[in-house]
Structure 1
Amino acid sequence: MTSGLAAVGPAAHAAEPTQMLRQPALSKDHLAFVYAGDLWLADRDGAHARRLTSHAASEFAPRFSPDGRQIAYSASYDGNTDVYVIGLEGGSPRRLTWHPSPDVVNGWSPDGKRVLFASPREVLNNRSNQLYEVSTEGGYERQVMKAVAFEGAWSADGRQLAYRPYNAAYVGVSGWRQSRGGSTPPVWIMDMASQAWQQIPHVNATDHAPVWAAGEVVFISDRADGAANLFAFNPATRALRQLTRETQWDVRSVDAWGSTLVYEAGGVIKQIDLAGGTPRVLDIRLDGTAPQARPQWKDAGKTLTQARLSATGKRVVVTARGEVFTVPVKDGSVRNLTETAGVRESDALWSPDGQHVACISDAPGMRHEVVLQAQTGLGAKERFLLPKEGYFTLMDWSPDGQQLVIRDNHLNLYRLALGAGPQRGQLIKIATDVRRFGSDGFTVSFSRDSRWLAFTMSGENYLGRIVLHELATGKNHVVTDGLTHAGNPVFSPKGDVLYFTASINAGPSRVRLDLSSQERPNRSGLYALVLAADGKSPLAPKAGDEEARKEGRQDAAAKDPKPADGRKDVAAPKEEAVKPVRIDLAGLADRVVALPLAERNYDNLAVAHDGSLFYLQRPQPGASSEPAQAERRATAELWRFDAEERKPKMLRTGVAEFSLSEDGKKLLLTLAGGKLEVGDANDKADTKALDLSGLRARIDPKAEWKQIFDEAWWMEKEFFYDPALHGLDWQAVYQRYLPRLAHVQRREDLNDLIVEMIGELQVGHNRAGAGDVVQEAPVAVGLLGADFAIDKGRYRIARLYPGDRHDPKQRSPLAVAGLGVKEGDFILAINGHELDDKLNLYALLENTVGKQVVVTVADDAAGKGRRDITVEPIANEALLRRWAWIEGNRKKVEQKTGGKVAYVYMPDTADQGYEHFNRMFFAQIDKQALIVDDRRNGGGQAANYVTELLSRPYLSGWKDRDGLVFETPGGAIYGPKAMLIDQDAGSGGDFMPYAFKRVGLGPLIGKRTWGGLIGISANPPLIDGGFLTVPYFRFYTPEGEWRVENEGVAPDVDVELDPAAVNRGEDTQLDAAIADVMKRLQTWKPIQRKTAPAPATLGR
């Protein structure tokens, strides 16, 4: 796990000072820091640096003990982030925590007996941490306080806690420098005995990373100089002063010892005195290359992005890890056709004759080209440079081999001419779409004679249309009328019909940003467009007559090419000339034939050699809710419509997508999890797994990291919603950050550098992460769905979290019916191992998730009523705890309002939020008023569904002879409404309160929201599977104003979530909402639900 100092000697002879040094920690005699994911120890001035740990997993957040003899740190060993302590001599560290939630070291108790750390383990709602202490001798962790805190530090006397109460917008994978929305946390100082607290003078900026130095609180703030700097605050005098004046790079972390401070900025470590002065850069020079930076062979199959069959299905061309491979279905070996370090090839396609492969390459450097090469990988490659502006994707190759269809990220569709002559290599625009959002993108299909290209486009009404492009004239002909949502066009092999899907009920779900699109069924029919005016319908009545024998036709015996003497060297029959496809445009839309199939959720059409139509049938949105361990429901069923029998047949399930070979005889399936199978395109679809074990690529990390760095910069340039990038000199940003790339030694550090770089754009949702980082196989630690307290040296169950009994995804191990476990019981042993306060309970629950575990419980610590029960621990308690918080709030509102006010919580504005709203709102429509809780809402979609439903006017009542009257609309609450908001509600959690206020539903109560209304998900993943989310669309108001982004939605009633009240079990924001609604209820006039007497005369 680690290596001692003797094993790794000093490394102080590098040619230049090392960068990418992170998270410095200071003691009386030493400096510790993180480099390349390992802990390093040096003299106080940075000299004689030597590696302290050498595990492949990340070690981070080092902090010296008060006596300077130990270092506490966090590490992601065994796939779990926990707290460890190690001595200055190195060796094996001591593990102090085992909980599966991340435990991040913050510091030490002043007496050096306990380590302070932050963890979300017991937070009752998401997006928060709490602070804990754990003894260096081991045992159970003690929660410092109930109030949320993301990081903190003890004063020297241990009486005061300086801490950041909530998360910041610029943290982790989020590149959002200079954020000015609601997630701009202050630093608070709490006296733990009196619970009195004060806020360090705060402006709308991000304050974080508090440390104590000589009685003052030093923290980082981006309130001045356009960068994050160090400030010092004296709690006694309330004096505040700025210590550093960094302008080019943010201060990222800080630590103190006495009056000396060390901090990280621009990848180097600097030192400054608390009194001020000029910071000194510590000259730290490290030799050697980290293991992650060495060239190595990698499994490219983990990053497979596309697969296509060869002409007759003998091989599959695969794009993976930026390389192009061909994989044999039966005979031969895997070939890597590209083998280009630091270059990304993508979207590989076979030529129709199977002799060549085309792909997109970024070899020119932040610009694309099309590369053609022989299928063997041998010989010269032909290259066609594409325009400098645009990010391109190969889509299809015409059957005659003369055209490649290409699209770019700016909604353009092109064809690249490959025929001999002066037009070869010319890029010809076919069409430009009008929408990206609400569009299915271009779907294309060539006619067999290569004279026609069918493709889809969006209309202004968001519905897809089928368009025919005539290559000879360059003209486009719209086929469908725009009154249906049409898509998935595909020509039949004979060229007599064009199959497609069309839906007449797709309208409400086309704008998928709207929450009202949730759980909308998509019913499409399958249709055949008869292309010739005198063409035959595929469903024309069958007469059952013998067909006339064609002239020159031979009987079966005469057709046998094998000679009578048995010789086999007979020439193969000549390939028939392709018959021209005839399309009569006049009256074309009137020749649509509906196939005899039920309307369902169809897509991905393809026609086999025998004319049978293959297609996918996907699950309907909202049709079911699967348990977490179930197969992904995004997969579909593969169906085949027999053109002769005119009947559909389901062939198999679990298919994500499929394609056919050029000759239409072979079938390639992509299954759940990315597995590939190949088989015959017949009515059995007997497919076999494609062996992808040979997909290995030699990766030069340094070259690949340069490609990733460049492509991240390039994608921001190409996909950002504003081509001018808000006036930022993006080229200058590239030049400023590029020198630091040479110091990157692991993929994780590249992510950190990219996050810094894209942060220069100063917008939300701009994130980077993942990729080929170290990911150790996790040893899952089980949880029991409970809080524990140490009582008489044993573990007492302080609280059980039974979860929502009507949600099968919420299973609480100790709350299973029949076990008889209750709050106040004790856990005395796990799997026969006695448990007391010297042991950490979670250490006994390692590797137990989903397994049967024997837990010994008793009525008291002495063992009264001792008995064994068998439980199955779970991996995560978050849903159980959140439901307890929700139900607690609902019951509190119920009790404090005498049952008059409903409470509805929405954790996001996507699947969970939609489910929660429907679950809670309609169950409480018998209430008079409503509190909607948006706090810590994770966003997702625009919650128009909520505001539209809450805005419903009362239209009518209906009188039945018996029972209560009923109403239209049937689900409504007409009384006063209020919405709770806070700084952790963002994205869709910003839009919902904006919309709530916009339509005048009621006041917003709490704190300003996050401020991120700029959308993502247009750009592709990075070469190694890493993600970059470039914002490509942005919110504006009906008045045409750019609002909310980097601003947030302000409350009408500003209420802080008082930490002292939280520690007492109170919620000041919820109390304020209750008071507001109840006050307005006093003057609200309820809906009149009584009817007049029944008419006493006829005709009334």
Structure 2
Amino acid sequence: MATGKKAFSGATQASLISSILRDEPQPISQVQPMSPPALDHVVKKSLAKDPEDRWQNAADLGGELKWIAQGGSQTGAAAVAGGRRRKRDWISWAAAALLLLGVLFLGNEVRRLRTGDRVRAIHSYLDPPEKTTFRLTGDDSAPIALSPDGTRAVFGAGGKLWLQSLAAGTVAPLAATDGGRFPFWSPDSRSIGFFSGGKLKIMDSSGGPVQTICDAPNPRGGAWGRSGIIVFARDVGTGLSRVAASGGAPSALTVLGDKKQHTTHRWPYFLPDGKHVLYLAANHASPRSEDNGIYVASLDGAAPRRLMSSYGSAQYASGWLLSVRETSLVAIPFDAKRIEVSGQPLRVADDANFDTGVWRGTFSASDNGMLAYQLAREGGGGRLTWFDFSGRRMASVAEKSPAYSPELSPDGRRVSVMMGDPNNDVWAYELDRGVQTRLTTDAQAQIAPVWSPDGSQIAFVQGLGGGSDFVLVTIAADGAGRPKELYRSKERLEVSDWSRDGRYLLVDRGNIGASDIWAFPIADPAKAFPLVQSPFLEYNGQFSPDGKWVAYVSQHTGRDEVYVTSFPSGGTRWQVSGSGGTQPRWGADGRELYFVSTGDELTAASIDGSGSRFEVKDIRPLFRVNMYTGPRSGMYGYDVSPDGKRFLVSDAGEAGQARVALVVNWTAGLKK
């Protein structure tokens, strides 16, 4: 008002509020040299970041402005004629009086933004980086995490982690974070922790080398405390561990007791004192049991204590515990000093996403009133739909559901799927009659079931890990009888294909994000051998129709690409995709290899594998489709019909695209 220039500015509403919370305004004397110099002092004190440093009432501020008008601000100024001085004093007083209103208003707004008083919440949205989609849910996801100071966000998209400035709106990928999962911040907002390749890692948010801290085979979240301790869930079926952020050997923080009550501790979050940690204790067999709940552990070794019943994660922010119940994000009054719930939950949003596969609300809150959450997807899941090669929808064969990993039987009359994450079972659809049949009960099945060449059996892996075994089994395709055990391992196994001659199974072996491809002879699984083994991630092996070749996905170049190697010798590899690719599937005659590009385009590669060498002749995109792939990116969302004339796609539609809401001053409207 006194200068004709705004004290704070921003390109968006979110960046404007971020500027108010973070920046210091330019001194008035620099913008308007003719203003009384003492006004700089008045404004600076009015807008002090700490409430104790501001004017405490209007009387104090009014007295200061009156002193300025009476000439108290003119110390050191050159003398002027009395008439001119009186006129300038009058102008100064008028400007000061007008400024008083503006300063009182702006100072009050800053105070309310910083103390959480009721002001209007500001809503906006975050978009994924160009030509990518968010990777916010599932076993290998990277849900959005706001920095404690509310200025930046880290999230997963396009197979890596990205850093976005909420003030400037800029976004950039973080180097060496391919496959990064479940990111979290250091308390000073300078460093980021995440999981990749079965390891816990940290890096400076401004860039620089990634430091590996320790093993974390199949993690479920981490938290970084003020004392330099990181608490994390190293596997799906373990208690919490603790390790110094500077490195060293991890040690147990919590221990699973009676596994009839809880089979997992996950999603740790530090309370403000830096000594106590919230976490979810739950049971895989009963994900919605009342026995599941939020507990608090202490770094000093005190016994964990139950806070409340819950089937999902919780985070502390601004005097509240945030948690998602169904699709409602709720805030529960919480006394952080006494470490206890102090009131009834209040609704923050009605459209928040809950990741049922990992029991986590997809949200994050900063220390200064910023909130980000994934919007719930309407009609989540996918609908099994036939597409022709032009991308035209031909017919749907089932209602929309959370079923995933479709695998057509050799005769094309049935399709197997997984359903029930995290405690999956195998189901089969009869495509002609539209009937679905449950083939297993409480099987804890892993990823994709595969059909035997004659369609009489289905192979899959049972087990959740975390100390328990992974068991490779087969069952009758009609669900009759009990599973037959082929192989048992402490190491994670995920079956991906069954050879056309019936002799071999291809299996991803190793932790999520660090697996190799092994071939298991059906006749003697103990003689399994590595087909593709390297320091890089390899997965999703697929036999060619003639059995001479295996297509697979590898991160040899730093991102997912489709390759082919010979079988059973392995060794030489031929790269098929050039700009990223997953989900390889062979055409019926072996002359084409299909895959999904990083732009979600179903793509066809014309190939020649008739000789001793493999040749890629041509690559062409077919059509773009949004597939539902279940709890992990890179899992199969389609299959090719046995006659090679159409695709069966788990079609998520536009509702399947992840969206993120951003709210500034989310506590507005809440009453304790």
Larger strand fraction of residues? 2
Verify same fold: TM over 0.5. no
Per chain length, whose mean CA-contact separation is higher, i.e. which structure has more relative contact order (CA < 8 Å, sep 6+)? 2
Q: For the pair shown, which has the larger CA radius of gyration, 1 or 2?
A: 1
TM-score band, normalised by shorter chain: 0.3 to 0.5
